[in-house]
Amino acid sequence: MKLEALRIANRSARKFIDMGALTRLWNLVKNFHPVDIVSLMDHLVFREKLILFNTLYEKEKEKAAEVLSELEPEDSAQILKELPVEQISGLFHLVPSDDVAPILDLLPEEMKESVLASMEEKPSEDVKELLHYEEETAGRIMSPDFYALNHNTNISDAITAMQLEGDVESAFYLYVVDNEDHLVGVVSLRQLLFARPNTPLKEIMTRDVISVRTETDQEEVARNVADYNIVAIPVVDSENILVGVVTVDDVIDIIDKEATEDIYKMLSLDSTYRIQDSPITSIKKRLPFLMISILTASLAPFVVNYFKGTIQQFITLAVFMPLVAALGGIAGNQTIAIMVREIAVGQANWISVRKALLKEILVGIGNGIILGSVLAAISYFIIGNPILGLVLGLAIIINLFIAALLGTLIPLFLKLIHIDPALGSVNFLTMCTDTIGLLAFLGLGTLFLKYLI
Amino acid sequence: MKLEALRIANRSARKFIDMGALTRLWNLVKNFHPVDIVSLMDHLVFREKLILFNTLYEKEKEKAAEVLSELEPEDSAQILKELPVEQISGLFHLVPSDDVAPILDLLPEEMKESVLASMEEKPSEDVKELLHYEEETAGRIMSPDFYALNHNTNISDAITAMQLEGDVESAFYLYVVDNEDHLVGVVSLRQLLFARPNTPLKEIMTRDVISVRTETDQEEVARNVADYNIVAIPVVDSENILVGVVTVDDVIDIIDKEATEDIYKMLSLDSTYRIQDSPITSIKKRLPFLMISILTASLAPFVVNYFKGTIQQFITLAVFMPLVAALGGIAGNQTIAIMVREIAVGQANWISVRKALLKEILVGIGNGIILGSVLAAISYFIIGNPILGLVLGLAIIINLFIAALLGTLIPLFLKLIHIDPALGSVNFLTMCTDTIGLLAFLGLGTLFLKYLI
């Protein structure tokens, strides 16, 4: 839906809600795609969201259920908290269980219990099962709905069996299992459509099925789907028994989230930070990290304090301090960004680690020498002091070397000890480049002081 | 494929290449997924890549073609440049035309002409057509292979027609067109499988087809596929005539690339920077941006230079300069990262702009007051100078306010004038926070100088 149309719809929706004209509200949105209703809700205040959601529920429960599937789990939970338990469990029967699980998990414990108790056995079991896997694993995000049939089934029986099972949301493959339910093959629905009716599945199936285990990290699941260009990946348990499927739409969500997380974590930002949060919530989310940055940013002042005497004698050193710090920070942040992304999209591994480190250091020294020389020349021409140029140039070379070394090592080291390679690395690196850069600059300044004055 | 297996395969591959044992090399890789062969190649030097590729070509042209599809276009072009024209055009017949187009575009002009001339008419036309759309648009990345049938066709005729057309790589939908070839509906292959044979397509098709135009930006194409949870999106021309399809695997590549670009552009990094580049190439790619950063980083020294006299009289001000600069930079970068990501995933639009600006400013002031007070208190206890604490605290408040204001405005302004909101914004902001932060700090220091000493 185009932005302009959405903007107009939003204005009308607010008017209808204000007027209590709920039938007109329903007429406005009833033909909207659930995704567009969610976009509309994004720009309503909570009270308005609730009214809109209740209107959907009154008029067409299925529509309300579709909107629940599309909303962020946090938003769904916030709305459901206001509804009676029977209404919630009624809605949950209409929502795929892989979408129910994360919402349910956010409801207050007592409410969660009563909802699960009031749901029918089958869906309630499905949801409970998903909830027992760890967060951010394949088991947690998989859908327990998929087509799977024995490898001896022939095509026409397979189609009949699938018809009887009914429609499975976004199913593009039929998985093939052996007599012990082990996953042994996959057939695309396109192949089914084109094969002769009496062929057994095992004759047309692809045997090299790419699958993941229930405990596989969701990021690795996403990478597999992305790398092998498939639209769904089967999830198996420790005995290779098929237990679920992760579809590409979930994979896209994961990739988007991980990319945002990479950036946010690099900059020590809470990855749940959202633009819709209230100012108070935002301050609360950002403050702890800023407080930590007081600590990391307080190391450089100690260095400067140590060289107070030198600065006092040649105040021009103070003038160039921000330049040394800024250039080291910029070069280091670039290196960190490169490493974090290369690790994320799976390029940085084994052989590359040593190569990458060596290369970045060479690049750092190379750029340092060029940049340092340029700066030395400029400052010589402007200030007319060749020794100051030399000190500045050398400090830049040292700082860019440090930036390259630590910019590569910090993310790799964090990955090695199984911490997110992005986590706070920019803050930490800025601390190092500020400190070491100023140490080099003021140290060299002290060394050459008698030639400077 | 697991990393360990890949590592072993890589070692064997290099050994076989060194020994010239090309049949053993072929036996090693012949059952590998093309994606895994590409991973293997990533860690070979160019000469080895070429030998591996030629071995694939000798043994099984289809395998070589699949590898071409999976390689980055730059890598494919580099390899093909070494091959004779007939061999290239022969390979191109085996590669989908949406994968051929970007590779062809990277070949030398003369080679490109002769390859196109030596290809058969149909595929050559397809590729030429794709090449005439602008880069990074739906037209450029779409595949011209898809299933489309008239709305009056019944299901069994549709299946026969599709069978005759042959296999279409990763087709999950059948598109439905009217008598004038306008796109009017879509049927999933699952629906086809389950519908009664004599039903006409128009009775079972979904009429609200989500489609994009040939000139739609690839990022918007990706957002549509992601938002509406579909695995392929049809591309139509200005008259709503179906001309191609973009599939979800391409969408994932776009989302990955855009996320990397967002980060790289924020930090003024060339978005083609790759870890496999040689040190010389890397230096060339990074140097121009670092040179620009000399300019942006040179503004703050002017400010310090102006206040040389104040610093001379109270040298402790120089000690706290790095702290003021670092905190402003960190807070500003956080705000920019938030805005860039929110704009990228489509959250920041219309209504939110004003709200976001107001909110970020409130958050900036709020955090500034808290952080400033804490710092003022700490420095008072350590240095014992209440006025210094006051000056430092006020400077931090001003700097965090500026960081929030500009961190929000710079990306929004860049978007408004249709420049990538990420482009160099971190560098520019660091310049502003360094300069204004130091201006505030040293300015206040000058104002209160007589109480400081």
Whichever domain contains A353, its CATH number is 1.10.357.20
* Residues B123, B36 share a domain: yes
Chain B residues closer than 8 Å to A438 by CB: 322
* Residues B153, B68 share a domain: no
Q: Tokens 């620009």 identify what position?
A: B292
Q: What is the mean pLDDT of chain B?
A: 87
Q: ipTM of the predicted structure?
A: 0.75
* Residues B98, B13 share a domain: yes
Closest CA to B217 of B190, B185, B195, B246: B246
Min Cα distance B68 → chain A (Å) is: 14
| CA B117 – CA B134 distance, rounded (Å) | 22
DSSP code string of A198-237: T-BHHHHSBS----EETTSBHHHHHHHHHHTT-SEEEEE-
User: How does pLDDT run along chain A (453 residues), one tens digit per residue?
Assistant: 666 777 888 889 999 998 888 999 999 998 888 888 988 888 888 899 999 999 999 999 999 999 998 888 888 999 999 999 888 988 998 888 888 888 988 889 888 888 888 887 767 777 777 778 888 899 998 988 899 999 999 998 998 888 888 777 668 899 999 999 999 999 998 888 888 889 999 999 998 899 999 999 998 899 889 888 889 999 999 999 999 999 998 898 888 888 888 888 877 788 777 777 788 888 888 888 888 888 888 899 999 999 999 999 999 999 999 999 999 988 988 888 888 877 776 655 555 667 778 888 999 999 999 999 998 998 888 888 889 999 999 999 999 999 999 998 888 888 778 777 777 788 888 899 999 999 999 999 999 999 887
In a domain, B88, yes or no: yes
Phi, psi of B150 (to 5 degrees): -65, 145
In a domain, B272, yes or no: no
CA distances from B429 to A174, B97, B268, B330, B426 (A): 53, 43, 12, 10, 5
* Residues A319, A290 share a domain: no
Q: Is B298's CB within 8 Å of A352's CB?
A: no
Q: Is B347's CB within 8 Å of A249's CB?
A: no
Q: Which of B290, B295, B305, B385 to mutate to test the interface with A (most CBs of A within 10 A)?
A: B290
| CA B358 – CA B364 distance, rounded (Å) | 10
In a domain, A21, yes or no: yes
Sites in chain B below the pLDDT cut of 50: none
Predicted local confidence at residue A317, as pLDDT: 93
Q: Is A193's CB within 8 Å of B190's CB?
A: no
Sheet holding A232-236, edge to edge: A212-213, A232-236, A242-247
Predicted local confidence at residue B446, as pLDDT: 95
**Which domain CATH number covers A127?**
1.25.60.10
* Residues A286, A180 share a domain: no
Nearest to B229 among A210, A249, A367 (CB): A249
Q: Tokens 């121009």 identify what position?
A: B288
Q: Is A351's CB within 8 Å of B7's CB?
A: yes
Q: Is B282's CB within 8 Å of A363's CB?
A: yes
Local structure of residue A133 (DSSP, 8 states): S
Chain B residues closer than 8 Å to A304 by CB: 318-319, 321-322
pLDDT in tens, B280-307: 888 888 888 888 888 888 899 999 999 9
| CA B435 – CA B338 distance, rounded (Å) | 22
Predicted local confidence at residue A169, as pLDDT: 67
What lies within 8 Å, CB to CB, of B321 at 6+ separation is A304, A318, A321, A322, B304, B438, B441, B442
In chain A, the residue whose alpha carbon lies closest to the alpha carbon of B438 is A322
CA distances from A374 to A11, A246, A364, B51, B112 (A): 57, 54, 15, 43, 41
Amino acid making up residue A120 = E
Predicted local confidence at residue B39, as pLDDT: 84
Chain B residues closer than 8 Å to A189 by CB: 172, 189-190, 193
pLDDT in tens, B41-78: 888 888 999 999 999 999 999 999 999 988 888 889 99
| Domain limit, last residue, from A134, A160, A177 | A134
pLDDT in tens, B106-163: 889 888 888 888 887 767 777 787 778 888 899 998 988 899 999 999 998 998 888 8
Q: Per the structure block, which two tokens stand in for B133?
A: 């759309």
Strand partners, B150: B177
In a domain, B141, yes or no: no
CA distances from B350 to A6, A8, A9, B247 (A): 10, 11, 13, 29
CA distances from A420 to A139, A178, A265, B220 (A): 21, 39, 8, 30
* Residues B156, B99 share a domain: no
Chain A residues closer than 8 Å to B261 by CB: none
Q: Per the structure block, which two tokens stand in for A58?
A: 């009154």
| Domain limit, last residue, from A191, A223, A255 | A255
Predicted local confidence at residue A347, as pLDDT: 55
Quick one: residue A410, left, alpha or beta (phi over 0 = left, psi -120 to 50 = alpha)? Answer: alpha
Q: Is A304's CB within 8 Å of B283's CB?
A: no
Amino acid making up residue A72 = E
In a domain, B251, yes or no: yes
Q: Per the structure block, which two tokens stand in for A246?
A: 């992760």
Nearest to A326 among B3, B42, B297 (CB): B297
DSSP code string of B254-280: HHHHHHHHHHHHHTT--TT--TTS-HH
Residues in chain A: 453
* Residues A179, A78 share a domain: no
* Residues A337, A415 share a domain: yes
Phi, psi of B243 (to 5 degrees): -120, -10
In a domain, A139, yes or no: no
* Residues B165, B33 share a domain: no
Closest CA to B80 of B101, B54, B117: B54
Q: Is A252's CB within 8 Å of B225's CB?
A: yes
Predicted local confidence at residue A434, as pLDDT: 93
Nearest to B189 among A193, A331, A342 (CB): A193
Strand partners, A182: A241
* Residues B420, B394 share a domain: yes
Min Cα distance A223 → chain B (Å) is: 10
Chain B residues closer than 8 Å to A274 by CB: 347
In chain B, the residue whose alpha carbon lies closest to the alpha carbon of A173 is B190
Q: Is A318's CB within 8 Å of B333's CB?
A: no
Q: Is B193's CB within 8 Å of A190's CB?
A: no
Closest CA to A422 of A412, A433, A431: A412
Q: Is A330's CB within 8 Å of B3's CB?
A: no
**Which domain CATH number covers A209?**
3.10.580.10
Predicted local confidence at residue A404, as pLDDT: 92
| Domain limit, last residue, from B136, B160, B181 | B136
Q: Which domain holds residue B163?
A: 147-255
* Residues A122, A16 share a domain: yes
In a domain, B406, yes or no: yes
In a domain, B311, yes or no: yes
| CA A76 – CA B424 distance, rounded (Å) | 37
Percent above pLDDT 70 for chain B = 97
* Residues B160, B103 share a domain: no
Local structure of residue B134 (DSSP, 8 states): P
Number of domains comprising chain B = 3
